């Protein structure tokens, strides 16, 4: 532009013609366009890859964490970190980083060229900028804390939405729509307030930026104009200088947005780091081994376990032989479910307390033990897929239809499946919403026995099954028990008909153990449970 104006003023003294300068500007504009497309594609694609890697690492890490982590974390909060927090990090590493590089290059190049034209004028033109940086820095310090609060409010909002959707049938049953609507509005209002506070800070940054660039423009108009009149610089120099100053307007304006984005990204990354830094309480010992053949012997040696300060198991000792079927009963909260979770290695346990085939459970790889253990939890969970996929989901290789049918038969679920129009291809819906409670339990049993495990852990597996169907299921399971170590937790005595021995827990300890006949003769706690159920 400088050379073009000088060529128009003094064509005979100009180094290049105005036409040549116009052509050069056109070529440079095309190069700039190509470079901008390439740089944006490269940087934004890299940000997407970074987002993918972080999300992948987070999910992989979540699969290593134990039950205690998820007991203390809300699902909606975790989902919020996977979506909104990761988006903020992607924006920072993509468009934010690209803008930072662009701003640094333009500032360094433009200021250098301005100084070559007139150093004194450059000093006065950029004098407002350091003051602007100090003000913006002070504002951005508050942006971080407010951004962190906003992300926490968003997590609370996501958790409340997820919880309300999951419990929609219960909410409608109790006519609590208005209550949950008001609660959601309160949480949404808190999230809105935090974002409005951020918006007010961002609203301060942009005017500060505009004031700095406007002041610089006024300086150039006033002092630069006098320099042109006095012949210190040429009109072409003035135009070039104004052009360089104009190049600083957009990077200066976007600098405030970058600082906001940086604070949001930093706040989000700190929340993501909380998950990535979480250490699993259940982990494999460096000397842990895989079990090639599992016989199924289980030995408890003064087994103790506590949830925080609450002691649940208070020194249990017993020996379960390979192939033995053992029933476990007792009052609510006596530690029955906890015992099964410890055997399945879902909870951390101290050394020399639990042995599988005479090997300390801490010296067995978790994947090896769980791969050879069929576990039916007390709370049945089904995936929103077909019945066949739910039965065989734990296998890396595809299960043949005969294996799936056999597992469904052993769980007493085959008649129900045959009554469905799509049979094994029937979609069970969200958390098995299309199935009854008893059908969910039987599908869960089929899933556990499908892998033909040497150890089978059943945690109250027939609580939602009616008496008539219970008899059929027990007949089929009785055939499956042969040669396997089976532990059945139940409050219903009828579930123990195939058990060789029964353990009665009370207050975290073994109160009684023996065969059903022996326990009835003792006239103790088991006898009381037996008589109460017989009379009912």
Q: What pLDDT shows up at residue 398?
A: 58
| CB contact at 8 A, 322 and 294 | no
State the pLDDT confidence band at 256, using cuts at 50, 70 and 90.
low
Q: What pLDDT shows up at residue 28?
A: 92
Task: Give the mean pLDDT of 182-198.
Answer: 88
Report d(CA 281, CA 205) in Å as an integer: 45
Report d(CA 318, CA 2) in Å as an integer: 94
Report d(CA 455, CA 383) in Å as an integer: 24
State the pLDDT confidence band at 253, using cuts at 50, 70 and 90.
low
Q: What pLDDT shows up at residue 176?
A: 81
The reply to whether domains 2-274 and 298-535 share a CATH topology is no
Q: What pLDDT shows up at residue 178?
A: 85
Task: Give the mean pLDDT of 42-71.
Answer: 86
| CB contact at 8 A, 410 and 403 | no
Task: Give the mean pLDDT of 186-210.
Answer: 83
Q: Work out whether strand 354-356 and strand 485-489 pair parallel, antiparallel, or are unpaired.
A: unpaired
pLDDT tens for residues 347-383? 888 888 999 988 898 888 888 888 888 888 888 888 8
Q: What pLDDT shows up at residue 415?
A: 84
C-alpha torsion 418→421→424→430, nearest 10: -120
Please say whether the dihedral angle defined by the alpha carbons of residues 102, 107, 108 and 109, taken in this order, is positive or negative.
positive
pLDDT: is 31 or 99 the higher one? Answer: 31
For domain 298-535, give the CATH number. 3.40.50.300
pLDDT: is 53 or 492 the higher one? Answer: 53
Q: What's the pTM?
A: 0.70
Q: Is the pLDDT of residue 395 over 70?
A: no
Q: At what angle do helices 437-449 and 401-410 cross, to 10 degrees?
A: 120
pLDDT tens for residues 29-43? 999 999 889 888 888
Q: What pLDDT shows up at residue 397?
A: 55
| CB contact at 8 A, 1 and 236 | yes
| CB contact at 8 A, 428 and 460 | no
Q: What pLDDT shows up at residue 3?
A: 82
Report the range of poorest mean pLDDT among 85-94, 257-266, 435-444. 257-266
Q: What pLDDT shows up at residue 273?
A: 87
Q: At what angle do helices 249-276 and 128-166 cross, to 10 degrees?
A: 40
CATH fourth-level superfamily of 2-274? ABC transporter type 1, transmembrane domain (1.20.1560.10)
State the pLDDT confidence band at 400, using cuts at 50, 70 and 90.
low
Which DSSP state fits 427?
B
Q: Is the pLDDT of residue 277 over 70?
A: yes
| Domain map (residue ranges) of the chain | 2-274, 298-535
- Which residues lie below 8 Å from residue 495, measured CB to CB, with a gap of 6+? 327, 461, 462, 470, 474, 488
Give the Cβ contact number of residue 134 at 10 Å: 11
Q: What percent of the chain has pLDDT over 90?
A: 4
Give the Cβ contact number of residue 17 at 10 Å: 14
Report d(CA 23, CA 135) in Å as an integer: 42
- Nearest of 445, 362, 381 to residue 410 by alpha carbon: 445
Q: What pLDDT shows up at residue 536?
A: 59
pLDDT tens for residues 427-458? 887 777 788 888 888 888 888 888 788 888 98
Please say whether the dihedral angle defined by the alpha carbons of residues 484, 485, 491 and 496, taken in this order, is positive or negative.
positive
State the pLDDT confidence band at 109, using cuts at 50, 70 and 90.
very high
Report d(CA 71, CA 32) in Å as an integer: 54
Report the range of poorest mean pLDDT among 9-18, 92-101, 288-297. 9-18
The H or E element spanning position 329 is strand 325-330
Report the range of poorest mean pLDDT among 78-82, 266-270, 429-433. 429-433
């Amino acid at each position: 532009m400088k050379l073009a104006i000088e060529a128009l003023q003094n064509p005979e003294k100009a180094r290049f013609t105005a036409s040549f300068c116009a052509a050069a500007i056109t070529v440079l504009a095309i190069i700039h366009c190509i470079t901008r497309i390439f740089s944006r594609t490269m940087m934004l694609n890299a940000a997407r890859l970074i987002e993918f890697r972080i999300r992948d690492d987070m999910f992989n890490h979540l699969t290593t964490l134990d039950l205690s982590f998820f007991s203390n974390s809300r699902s909606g909060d975790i989902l919020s970190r996977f979506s909104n927090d990761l988006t903020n990090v992607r924006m920072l590493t993509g468009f934010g980083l690209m803008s930072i590089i662009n701003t640094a290059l333009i500032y360094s190049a433009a200021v250098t060229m301005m100084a070559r034209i007139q150093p004194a004028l450059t000093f006065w033109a950029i004098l407002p900028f350091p003051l602007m940086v100090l003000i913006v820095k002070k504002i951005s310090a508050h942006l971080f804390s407010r951004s962190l609060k906003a992300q926490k409010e968003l997590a609370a909002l996501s958790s409340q939405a997820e919880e309300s959707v999951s419990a929609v049938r219960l909410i409608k049953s109790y006519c609590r729509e208005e209550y949950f609507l008001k609660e959601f509005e309160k949480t949404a209002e808190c999230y809105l307030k935090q974002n409005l506070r951020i918006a007010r800070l961002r609203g301060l940054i942009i005017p500060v930026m505009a004031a700095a660039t406007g002041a610089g423009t006024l300086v150039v108009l006033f002092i630069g104009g006098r320099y042109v009149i006095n012949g210190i610089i040429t009109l072409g120099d003035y135009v070039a200088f104004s052009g360089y100053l104009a190049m600083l307007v957009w990077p200066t304006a976007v600098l405030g947005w970058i600082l906001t984005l940086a604070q949001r990204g930093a706040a989000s990354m700190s929340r993501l780091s909380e998950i990535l830094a979480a250490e699993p309480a259940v982990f494999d010992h460096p000397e842990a081994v895989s079990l090639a053949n599992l016989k199924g012997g289980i030995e408890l040696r003064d087994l103790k376990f506590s949830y925080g300060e609450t002691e649940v198991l208070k020194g249990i000792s017993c020996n379960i032989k390979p192939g033995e079927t053992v029933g476990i009963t007792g009052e609510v909260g006596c530690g029955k479910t906890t015992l099964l979770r410890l055997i399945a290695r879902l909870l951390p346990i101290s050394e020399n307390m639990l042995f599988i085939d005479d090997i300390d459970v801490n010296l067995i790889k978790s994947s090896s033990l769980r791969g050879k253990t069929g576990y039916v939890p007390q709370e049945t969970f089904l995936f929103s897929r077909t019945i066949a996929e739910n039965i065989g989901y734990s296998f890396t290789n595809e299960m043949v239809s005969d294996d799936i049918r056999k597992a469904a038969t052993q769980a007493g679920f085959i008649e129900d499946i045959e009554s469905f129009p799509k049979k094994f291809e029937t979609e069970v819906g969200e958390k098995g919403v299309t199935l009854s409670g008893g059908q969910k339990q039987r599908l869960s049993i089929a899933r556990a026995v499908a892998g033909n495990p040497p150890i089978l852990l059943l945690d109250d597996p027939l609580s939602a099954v009616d008496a008539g169907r219970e008899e059929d299921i027990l007949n089929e399971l009785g055939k499956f028990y042969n040669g396997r170590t089976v532990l059945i937790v139940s409050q219903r005595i009828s579930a123990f008909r195939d058990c060789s021995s029964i353990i009665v827990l009370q207050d975290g300890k073994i109160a009684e153990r023996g065969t059903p006949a022996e326990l009835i003769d003792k006239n103790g706690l088991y006898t009381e449970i037996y008589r109460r159920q017989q009379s009912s």
